[in-house]
Amino acid sequence: MFYRDDDQSWSGGAFQGGAFRDDRERYWRESNPDPYPDPNPSQLQQPDQVVSQQQIPNQPPQQIPQQVQNPNQFPQQVQNQNPNQPQVQNQNQNQQQVQSQNQNQQQAQNQNQNQQQAQNQNQVVRGFYDQSCPSAESVVRRTMVDSFRRNPLLAAGILRLFFHDCFVRGCDGSVLLDRKPGGPIPEKESDVNNNSITGFRVIDDAKKRLERMCPGVVSCSDILALAARDAVWISGGPRWSVPTGRLDGRVSLATEADNEIPPPDLRIRDLRKAFLAKGLNTHDVVTLSGYSFTGAHTIGRAHCPAFEDRLYNFSATNAPDPTVNLSLLDSLQKICPRVGNTTFTVSLDRQTQVLFDNSYYVQILASNGLLQTDQQLLFDASTAGLVRAYAADSSMFFRAFAKAMIKLSRVGLKAPGEGEIRKHCRRVNP
């Protein structure tokens, strides 16, 4: 089997960014009876409103007194002090309760209608599962946190998995499908995905939990989109509201993955064309281009063959790329020998390897970009300015990243007749 199907444990001891990730996890666990409750959609970050790690409180909010939590439940002795209280107040309260129930029912009906309309129109909406499976997002988030506590490097794997899914046949979960007996080779076994994508068990675990709670409701493609968002947030990056309501595809072909996913040595103008074909622009290239090679470039890794030519035979010159920083070149040649380096990996952001930040762009400015496409971002007039802007302003990068992720998550959505909600993410329904 070509793809990585094992979510290996990570035992690297203390790691940069880990303390912050643990702070976020502790905040959720201590401040909520349910460790991962569904947040109010209005409180989630919209595309142009992204939270930074400094805005997350370090201490849980104070517990609300019982009497404040239940204002309508007064002590029995207080209720008995006024036996002659007019019945009009009780009638008014009953009327208010009936009106409130009617309003809630109407809101639920309207939401169900909006959900059905969204699917019929091949669209996704925020809060799609609020009525049909209210705990959907919290289940995915809990599964992600449990997995990342064992292996924080899975964040990059999930992000890479999401990009490779959306860039081939759209965001339909086709990258998750296994090969059927006698069937064609699926995307996960393509050359471009050879030994480079992981995180399948995380998606499987979340799906199993959701099927027990809400059978046949939450799609695998939505689980992957939510997991990608949570991977960024757990790693110290921004959090945004993910539009949901996707349908899962029924076809997965390795040949399409090899043709659609950009290779790591692609020129910037060709990379822009590849992104444009998916409805993404030059800003999205700078913000998301590292996806296609390493997961999110700010927390991703690359196999040595992805940049071997830069170390030994740049542009068939039998010499290293002259733009590579000499100290970086020496370090990389030791990690990636000229022969037998197919299994070695190197962090794309060697300064903060598991922390989601803007250090990747700072490294490009210092000629420490690992892949050829990384360093080309600085040498192309259409992208250089944005690289400098992201390097100087992490908040700007966070906002742009959230917008680009939402935009990416809308690529190639399936219409009702084209997709389904799989019962198992690795195979289509019978």
Residue closest to 309 by CA, chosen among 286, 332, 326:
332
The verdict on whether residue 321 carries a ligand-binding annotation is no
CATH 3.40.50.300: does it fit domain 18-30+126-300+348-408?
Answer: no
Tokens of 367: 């000629």
202 is in an annotated binding site: no
* pLDDT computed for residue 232 by the predictor: 93
CA–CA distance, 344 with 331 (Å, rounded to integer): 13
- 0.75 exceeded by the pTM? no
pLDDT of 16 reads 39
- Residue 267's nearest CA partner among 371, 369, 376, 167 is 376
Flag whether 352 is marked binding. yes
CA–CA distance, 401 with 285 (Å, rounded to integer): 11
Supply the residues annotated as catalytic. 164
The domain locations on the chain are: 18-30+126-300+348-408
Nearest alpha carbon to residue 277 among 183, 412, 418, 371: 412
How far apart, in whole angstroms, are the C-alpha atoms of residue 137 and residue 233? Answer: 13
Give me the pLDDT at residue 99, please. Answer: 65
Helix (H, G, I), strand (E, B) or coil at 302: strand
What's the pLDDT score for residue 117? 52
Burial (Cβ within 10 Å: 0-12, 13-18, ≥19) of residue 233: buried
State the DSSP H helix or E strand holding residue 202, giving kind and residue range, or none if neither.
helix 200-213
Per the structure block, which two tokens stand in for 151?
Answer: 């292996």
Please tell me the predicted confidence (pLDDT) of residue 347.
58
The answer to whether the annotation marks 236 as part of a ligand binding site is no
Asked if residue 187 belongs to a known ligand binding site, the reply is: yes
Interval 115-152: pLDDT, tens: 555 555 568 999 999 999 999 999 999 999 999 999 88
The ranges of the chain with pLDDT < 70 are 1-122, 290-303, 306-307, 340-354, 369-372
H/E stretch holding 222: helix 220-234
- The confidence score (pLDDT) of residue 334 equals 77
Q: What is the dihedral of CA 145, 354, 265, 362, to 10 degrees?
A: 140
CA-CA distance, 119 to 221, in Å (whole number)? 14
Which of 294, 275, 308, 216 is closest to 407 using CA atoms?
A: 275
